[in-house]
Amino acid sequence: MTLLTRSLIRHAHAIAREVGARLIFLYADVVEADDVLADMIRDVAFRLILVSRRPNFQPPAGWEDLCTVLHVPDVRMTRAGQVKVATLVAAVEGLVQLGDRVVWLTGVQNSNTIDTVLVLDLGAELEMFSMGAVGPLPADVRPAVFERLLDLASELGSEGREGHAVGALFVVGDSDNVLAESRQLVINPFHGYPESERNVLDPQLEETIKEFSAIDGAYIIRGDGVILAAARYLVARERPVHALPAGLGTRHEAAAWITSSTNAVALCVSQSTGTVTIFRGGRIVTDVQRPRSRMQDDF
């Protein structure tokens, strides 16, 4: 373990106690060896959330009781993206909530060096936690469904489709009202299939979802993950209540409008930038930008 890593980890424990933090996030993919990670966990000596892109990642043996594992999309992210996505997923899973204070330890993947400590107030960080006033998710949306859609949106934003950038819009929750506020642009490609064959949680459906994302319009998804429609045009009857940042287009405007007029969540992938923007209650909850280079530590 490097001197910098050891110093920051030991100070993180003191910081967390002095500022009344509820827990510490540690980006576990900074290291690959379990023995090094175990040394980090021992030195932190605080309740930990281990964040990893590795689907099968588990805490080192003997440290399971102190640690909770949080899986995030397996795509390249900026350093800020790592923090935003993991904090959002933790909120969706009920691990943190509005008003909590948390400490973050992170660094470049596989660098074996922790080089950043952050203290976040989940409430003061309005951009990441503006949904706190209305709850992380609508009651009818399963956390696993939201997390799967976040994976898909992140992959589309980062990789595009067959070498080409694509935009996409996923609307999940309050599906009856969302359907009432929308209409088909073309024939619904999911119509007539059994529900068991059109659920976003089915990994075999991933390529189909990505393929149809190139069609104009939105995916409408029930809270349990069943895809009700693709290529759906959201019929905005008025402009969004909350002004959007300059540079966002009609797809983002539609996401803002549908989440203000229904109790749904929308995940919007920008075709031009690959940024994934999440909307709730007509507001931007957070956005996750694609790295500008192969480096992952840009803020």
Taking the model in full, what pTM does it have?
0.87
The pair of three-digit structure tokens given for residue 190, joined into one six-digit string? 């999911």
Pick 223 or 244 by higher pLDDT.
223
**What confidence tier does 239 reach under pLDDT thresholds 50, 70, 90?**
low
**What confidence tier does 20 reach under pLDDT thresholds 50, 70, 90?**
very high
Percent of the chain past pLDDT 90, that is, above it, reads 57
DSSP 157-194: HHH-BTTB---EEEEES-HHHHHHTEEESS--TTTTS-
Using only C-alpha atoms, the chain has a radius of gyration, in whole angstroms, of 20
Reduced to 3 DSSP states, what percent helix, strand and coil does the chain have, rounded to the nearest 5? 35, 20, 45
234 closest CA partner among 194, 268, 199: 268
Residue 4's alpha-carbon distances to 115, 122, 297, in angstroms, are 7, 27, 16
258 closest CA partner among 173, 136, 191: 173
Pick from 125-129, 232-236, 289-293 the range whose average pLDDT is largest.
Answer: 232-236
The pair of three-digit structure tokens given for residue 112, joined into one six-digit string? 């074996």
Domains and CATH numbers, the chain: 3-133 (3.40.1380.20), 143-288 (3.40.1700.10)
DSSP 108-149: -TTSS---EEEEEETTT-HHHHGGGGT-SS-TTS-HHHHHHH
Tell me the pLDDT tens digit for each residue of 37-92: 999 999 888 999 999 999 899 999 989 888 999 999 988 888 888 888 999 899 89
Only one residue has tokens 């840009």, namely: 298
Pick 245 or 92 by higher pLDDT.
92
Average pLDDT rounded to a whole number, residues 230-254: 80
Tell me the pLDDT tens digit for each residue of 156-215: 998 888 777 889 999 999 999 999 999 999 999 999 999 999 999 999 999 999 999 888
**How far from chain centre, in Å, is Cα 184?**
28
**What confidence tier does 299 reach under pLDDT thresholds 50, 70, 90?**
very low
Alpha-carbon span 226 to 130, nearest angstrom: 27
Residues 6+ apart with CB under 8 A from 5: 40, 107, 112, 113, 114, 115
Q: What are phi and psi of 178, to 5 degrees?
A: -65, -40
Q: Which amino acid is at 86?
A: A
Only one residue has tokens 């203000």, namely: 260
DSSP 138-162: -TTS-HHHHHHHHHHHHHHHHH-BT
Residue 96's alpha-carbon distances to 87, 136, 146, 147, in angstroms, are 8, 10, 16, 16
Hey, which bits of the chain come out as E strands?
23-27, 48-52, 67-71, 101-106, 116-121, 168-172, 182-184, 218-221, 227-234, 265-269, 276-280, 283-288
